[in-house]
Structure 1
Amino acid sequence: MRDATASWQKSPLGELADIAIGGTPSRDIENYWASDRIDGFPWVAISDLHGRIICETKEQITAAGVNNSNVKLVTAGTVLMSFKLSLGRVAFAGRDLFTNEAIAAFKSRGEVAEDFFFYVLPEAVRTSATDVAIKGATLNKESLKTLRISYPCKAVQERITAILSAIDTAIEKTEALIAKYQQIKAGLMHDLFTRGVLPNGQLRPPREQAPELYQETVIGWIPRDWQYELLDKLALRGSGHTPNKNFPEYWNGGVKWVSLADSHRLDQLYISDTELQISHKGIQNSSAVLYPAGIVVLSRDAGVGKSAITTEPMAVSQHFMCWKCDQKMDNHFLYYWLQFNKRTFENIAMGSTILTIGLGVGVV
C-alpha cells in the first residue's frame, strides 16, 4: 500500500513562516499598563492561551507601553504558540494584539496555510523539542526556525484542517452546553439545599414568601421539618495512609488507592479507577484501610473539597476523608451536599477540621 504521506514535503519552520517574539513592558512604570480593556491593547500571556481564538486577555498594555518596549503588533488571524514552560499551546489571534516573550507568532509565507500551522505546530514542538523540554521546557527563536514541519499540498492541507476544525467546533459547542448545564445544576443545588422540596415534589416557597415553613438554627435558616446534626453521628468517618514507599511489596498489589494523583477523577459523582495501587501487605503494615464500595471521599489538601463515591472497594491516602453511610445518610445525598458546600471547604485553611455541617436528614 502506498504511503499516504509520501508526497508530503518537510522544511524548517523558519522557511515556511515569519516568526515574531513578543515582550513585556516594564512593570515599574505604571502608565505602560492599562486598567481596563477600553483604554488598553490586548497583551497575551500563556495563561490566555485557552480556546482556539483569543480576543480578550487578562492584562492590557497602553500605547506608551507599546512604544517603550519590544512588543510587536500581531495581526488578527495569526497563529500564536507558547514556546516557554508550557510548550505547544496554540491559538489564533482574534484581533490585532500583542504578546509577551513566551509567545511566538507565526505568519505563513504561503506554502502552508495558517489553519494547518495551528494543528501541526504542537506536534512538531513535542517531537522535535523533547531534549530541550527536559532540560528546561524552553525554546528560542532560532531553535523554532529549525523545527522540521511536514506538510502536503494546499488542497490536502485544507481537507485536513476542515475535518479537524469541524471536530473542534463540535467540542466547543459541547463544552458550552456543559457549562450551561453546570450553571443550571449550581442554581438547582442551591434551591434544593436551602429550600428543599414539598411532599408533592415541588420546591418549597422561598423564606421571604413563606417564613412559617422555615426555622432559624445555629447553622442558619433551614426548612422547618429538617433536622441538623454532626455528620459523625450520621455516617462513619475514616481517613487513610500511605504505605512505606521503600517496600516495593507494599505497592502495585491490586488494591485501588485514592490519592492526590486522582484529583482529575473527582467531582464526577463516581470514581472507579485510581492512578496508583497498593497491596494487602501494604495495608497490613500501615494505617491504610480497605473500605467497601460506596464510601464518599473528600479531598482535604490540594484540590480541597473535591469528592466522589467509590464504585468498588478502595483505600485512600491521608489526604482524604471518607464516610461510610448507612440508613441514616444516603451516600448520594452526602456527595451532592459536599458538592454544594465545595466553596466553603476551599476557603478552610489547611490543617483545620470540619466539625459540623447541616443536613436535611431524610429529605431528598
Structure 2
Amino acid sequence: MSEPLYEKRPLRDAVERHTGGGTPPRQVASYWKGNIPWASVKDFPEQEGVICDTEEHISSTGLHASASNLIPEKTPLVCTRMAVGRAALPVIPVAINQDVKALFPAPGVSAEYLLKLMQHIRPLAEGKAVGSTVKGIRIQDYLDIPAPLAPQNAQPVIAQILCTLDDAISKTNTIINKLKAIKQGLQHDLLTRGIGANGELRPPQSEAPQLYKESSLGWIPRDWSAQSLGDVAESLVDGPFGSNLKTAHYVEDPGVRVVRLQNIQQGEYDDSERAFIASKHAASLARNRVTAGDVLIASLGDDNYPIGRACCYPLELPDAINKADCFRLRAGDYCRNTFVMLFLNGAGARKQVRQYEQGVTMKRINLGNLRRIMIAVPSIVEQDLIIQRMNSVKAQLNISDLQLTKLRNEKIGLMNDLLTGHVRVTPLLETTTP
C-alpha cells in the first residue's frame, strides 16, 4: 500500500514572520544609485529563482527615508503584485520595494525548502490574485494557501535534490549565454572580415589594410562586392496587393500555410502559430508563393522585434503564401539565401534599415527602400564557408537549448513528486543516517 501524500497545511506554518518594503522618493537624487541592491518585480527571473543583483540600487539614506527594509541574503522573497507568486532567493542582502515580501522560515525549515514550496504554489497564488489592471494578493491570503509540508528530516534532502537540478539549469543557461555572445561576435567578424585563403578569419583592416577596400558599406575585403539587395535578388516581393488576406480568408488545416509577421524571428522561423488559406485562394496568389529556403523579411517592428529581421523558410515545411508586411526574397545565382539572411540580421543591415524606417509607434520599411539596402557579397565558396561556421555555433546552441528544456521539464515533474510526497526521499535519508 502506497504512503499517503504529505499533509497540506497553510504556508504560514512554514513561516516565522514576514516583512514588506517601499520606494525612496524618486525626486531625491541622493537616495538613489547607492551601493544597496533594491529588488522589485523586474529583478525576479521567470525560470531560475536566484537574485544575484538588481537593476536599481539605493543609498543608506534612501533606505532609512523609506518603508524599504534590508533583507538578509538567502531569505525567500515573493512578488505580491504584478508577477504574483514569483519567488526567488537573493544571494546578497537586498532592500525590497512595496510589491515584494520577504518570508523568514520557521525554526527547522530551511530557506531553500521554503523557496521550493513557494514556487510550487505559485499557480494557486496567481489564481487568488485580484485587480482589474494590475493584479495583486494580500500577504495574509498568500500565507493561507495550502502547501504540502514534508517531515522536517526530509525537507533538507528535498531541497538539496531540487537545488542540484537548479544548479544544472543555471550552468546550462550560462553556457547558452556564452554561445549567444560567441555567435553574435562571430557573425559580425564573418560579415565584415570573412574567411581568407588559409581558412581562418582575415585579420582586421587595421592590421592588414592591403586585404581591404573602401565601399559604401565601409571597409570590406578586397575581393568582395557591395551590391543592393534589389540587385542580388532574383525575386523580391511584398505581401498580396491591398492586404487582401484577412481573418475571414483563413481556414482550418488542411490548407495552404500563410507566413505572418509573428513567424519571422531573427535567424529562426517560429512555427508555433499557424494559419492557412484555401488552396483555391492560394492559387490566385502565385506571385507570393514561399518555398523551402526562401528568405522572409519583416517590414514592421519595434524595439524587441526589429524591422528587417530575417529568417529562411524551413526546408521541411510545405510551400506557403507570404502575408502583407512579410517580404519574400530569392537570391540570384551568385548569392546564397542563407548568406543574405545572415547579413540582414547583422549590424550593417540594421544600421541601414534605421535610415529608411518610417512610422512612430510601429516602425516600417517599404519594398522600395528595402531594395536599396546594401549587402557585402563574397564569392559563393566563401559564403558557404561563412554559413558553415555559423551553422556550427547554431548547432551547439540548439543542443544546449534542448538540454535546458529537458532539465526544466525534469524539474517540474520532480518538484511535484518530491514536494507532495508522491516520491519519498526515505531511501536517501537512510543512507545519510549515521
Aligned position for 2:246: 244
Report Cα offsets for 1:143-164 as digits up to 9, x if no partner.
Answer: 2122221221133333332222
Aligned position for 1:310: 313
Matched to 1:188, the amino acid is L
**Partners in 1 of 2:328 and 2:301 — Cα distance?**
13
Q: Is the 8 A contact 1:256 1:273 kept in 2?
A: no
Aligned position for 2:28: 29
Aligned position for 1:279: 277
Q: State the structure with bigger RCO (CA 8 A, min sep 6), 1 or 2.
A: 2
Q: Is the 8 A contact 1:21 1:141 kept in 2?
A: no
Q: How does 1:92-111 map to 2 (within 5 A)?
A: 92-110=89-107
Matched to 2:43, the amino acid is D
**Partners in 2 of 1:111 and 1:346 — Cα distance?**
60
**In the superposition, relative to structure 1, how do residues 140 and 270 fare at CA in structure 2: closer, same or farther (>3 Å)?**
same
**Partners in 2 of 1:122 and 1:260 — Cα distance?**
35
The number of equivalent residue pairs is: 354
The match for 2:340 among 317, 324, 334 is 334
Aligned position for 1:187: 185
Q: Is the 8 A contact 1:16 1:108 kept in 2?
A: yes
Aligned position for 1:13: 11
1:288 positional shift: 9.5
1:42 positional shift: 1.0
Residue aligned with 1:199, SS: coil
Aligned position for 1:232: 230
**In the superposition, relative to structure 1, how do residues 306 and 78 fare at CA in structure 2: closer, same or farther (>3 Å)?**
farther
Aligned position for 1:208: 206
Report Cα offsets for 1:52-93 as digits up to 9, x if no partner.
Answer: 432322211122222221112211111112221122322212
Q: Is the 8 A contact 1:328 1:361 kept in 2?
A: no
1:193 positional shift: 1.5
**Partners in 2 of 1:83 and 1:41 — Cα distance?**
22
Aligned position for 2:301: 301
Unpaired segments ≥5 residues, structure 2: 358-362, 384-434
TM-score, with normalisation over the residues of structure 1?
0.85
Q: Is the 8 A contact 2:31 2:60 kept in 1?
A: yes
Q: Decide which moves more: 50-59 or 140-149.
A: 50-59
Q: How does 1:114-153 map to 2 (within 5 A)?
A: 114-130=111-127, 132=129, 135=132, 136-153=134-151
Aligned position for 2:375: 358
Aligned position for 1:219: 217
Q: Decide which moves more: 335-344 or 254-263.
A: 254-263
Residue aligned with 1:228, SS: strand
Aligned position for 1:323: 329
Residue aligned with 1:222, SS: strand
1:336 positional shift: 1.8
Residue aligned with 2:376, SS: coil
**Partners in 2 of 1:104 and 1:242 — Cα distance?**
52
1:47 positional shift: 1.6
Aligned position for 2:351: 344
**In the superposition, relative to structure 1, how do residues 155 and 176 fare at CA in structure 2: closer, same or farther (>3 Å)?**
same
1:220 positional shift: 1.2
Give the structure with the higher percent helix. 2
**In the superposition, relative to structure 1, how do residues 274 and 97 fare at CA in structure 2: closer, same or farther (>3 Å)?**
closer
Report Cα offsets for 1:174-229 as digits up to 9, x if no partner.
Answer: 22122222222222222221122223323223222332222111221111111121
TM-score, with normalisation over the residues of structure 2?
0.73
Residue aligned with 1:358, SS: strand
1:44 positional shift: 0.5
Residue aligned with 1:193, SS: helix
1:242 positional shift: 7.2
Q: Is the 8 A contact 2:193 2:221 kept in 1?
A: yes
How many percent of aligned residue pairs carry the same amino acid?
A: 24
Aligned position for 1:76: 73
Q: Is the 8 A contact 1:258 1:274 kept in 2?
A: no
**Partners in 2 of 1:72 and 1:198 — Cα distance?**
59
Residue aligned with 1:212, SS: helix
RMSD: 2.9
**In the superposition, relative to structure 1, how do residues 129 and 189 fare at CA in structure 2: closer, same or farther (>3 Å)?**
closer
Residue aligned with 1:19, SS: strand
**In the superposition, relative to structure 1, how do residues 244 and 329 fare at CA in structure 2: closer, same or farther (>3 Å)?**
same
Q: Determine if the alignment matches structure 1 residue 55 to structure 2 residue 52.
A: yes
**In the superposition, relative to structure 1, how do residues 279 and 233 fare at CA in structure 2: closer, same or farther (>3 Å)?**
same
Matched to 1:81, the amino acid is V
Matched to 1:41, the amino acid is I
